[in-house]
Amino acid sequence: MAAPSLKTVAKNKKAFHDYFILEKFEAGIELFGTEVKSVRLGQLNLKDSYCFIKDGELFVRGMHISPYEKGNIFNKDPLRERKLLMHKREINRLFGKMKQDGCAIVPLSVYFKGPRVKVEVALTKGKKEYDKRQSIASRDAGREIDRAMKQRYR
């Protein structure tokens, strides 16, 4: 049996800039029909979204899913809180890390795994300004090295 195909719909590039990624998890997401249709069309933004735990359940806030054009009365609020589906022990582990280490949970990407919509969430620690400058400098240095190597082997 072949592995289900993965189709990435949206990535949160800002999360990689603002946070150190400590651990990644896969979670399902509770969506309504018209929201799934909008996600299939790629009408989704993760830019300022974050996750929080309330009453032992994991939710995402700030994820914008544009209303489906042909959905009339069945469309939901684009910025509503959406429940993420994870095992209870994983949620409890994340909650403990958040309280103990001062970490945050941030959605990194949304993708289709077969017919299901999945969210990749990460346990993250915030970067300071000097960390951001350092990562930008190292990325630029890597690009310069790649350019020099490309020029040399032409």
CA distance linking residue 12 with residue 121, whole number of Å: 10
pLDDT recorded at residue 74:
67
Instruction: Say what the pTM is.
Output: 0.77
Complete domains list, the chain, with CATH: 6-127 (2.40.280.10)
Q: Model confidence over 117-126: pLDDT tens digits? A: 889 999 888 8
Q: State how far the Cα of 132 lies from the Cα of 58, in Å rounded to an integer.
A: 28
Tens digits of residue pLDDT in 24-82 = 989 898 887 788 888 888 888 888 888 888 888 889 888 888 887 776 776 777 778 88
